[in-house]
Structure 1
Amino acid sequence: MPRPVHFELPVAAIASVEGAGATIVYPKRPIPGVGFSAYFTDTEGNRMGLLETDESAVIE
């Protein structure tokens, strides 16, 4: 089973994915007490999720 890869989700990185032809499905959003997530679909139709851990994440 593939292991998750952890990295930061700066707005510039999400814009870079979009600039490479991906479609943002859900922009960066908080998961309280866990971190932030974002989902995109790549140019081949594969949907992927990104997670940045940050226990201080809250819904504003």
Structure 2
Amino acid sequence: RGFELPGLVQSATKDVGPAMQNAQCTEGYTNARSCSLSLATGTGKSWRSLFHLLKDCTD
């Protein structure tokens, strides 16, 4: 729905960016590509697939 209603993304992610900043997170992980696009737009942070996290943890 965020692609059709950009205000929805802004509203839904308004607290995520500051929370990431407070936690000193530089990127996030998600399981859906469409969510990563919306989250990146709403937070200004990089979002990657959970599979990247799994790979990073097992290397």
Flag whether TM exceeds 0.5 (same fold): no
TM-score by length of 1: 0.29
Please report the TM-score for the alignment, with normalisation by the length of structure 2: 0.30
Select the structure that is richer in helix. 2
